[in-house]
Amino acid sequence: MDIEQHFLKSLYNQKEPKTYTQVSQLFELNYQKILKLMPLLKQTSDDYVIKHNSENDLHFIVEERFTHTDVFTLMHNY
């Protein structure tokens, strides 16, 4: 099990409330995964649909952009 999987599993199994640091780390992990999916995310300003032959399309919607924060939706449309 790699460090990322171990971290996610420990967060999931943890009984006590999550700390700010843990939540921030989770957000950072998610952001890194999304950057792998869309390497040009920082330059992206439009909505996109990633099409796949045998599966549901993946929709990327830019909600808002700020200096240090971006808000977007990533979803499958069934």
Does 52 score more than 80 pLDDT?
Answer: no
What integer best gives the mean pLDDT of the chain? Answer: 82
Same domain, residue pair 27 and 48: no
Same domain, residue pair 49 and 68: yes
Q: Where are the alpha helices (DSSP H) in the chain?
A: 3-13, 20-37
Compute the distance between CA of residue 12 and CA of residue 54 in angstroms, rounded to an integer: 31
Gyration radius of the chain over CA positions: 15
Strands (E), 1-78: 48-50, 58-65, 70-76
Give the residues across from 58 on adjacent strands: 50, 76
Same domain, residue pair 70 and 53: yes
Same domain, residue pair 47 and 33: no
Query: Token digits for 13?
Result: 């199994």
* Percentage of the chain exceeding pLDDT 70: 96
Mean pLDDT of 16-34: 86
Q: How many domains does the chain have?
A: 2
Mean pLDDT of 19-44: 83
pTM above 0.85, yes or no: no
Same domain, residue pair 78 and 49: yes
Mean pLDDT of 34-56: 78
Quick one: pLDDT at residue 1? Answer: 63
- For residue 71, give its domain range: 43-78
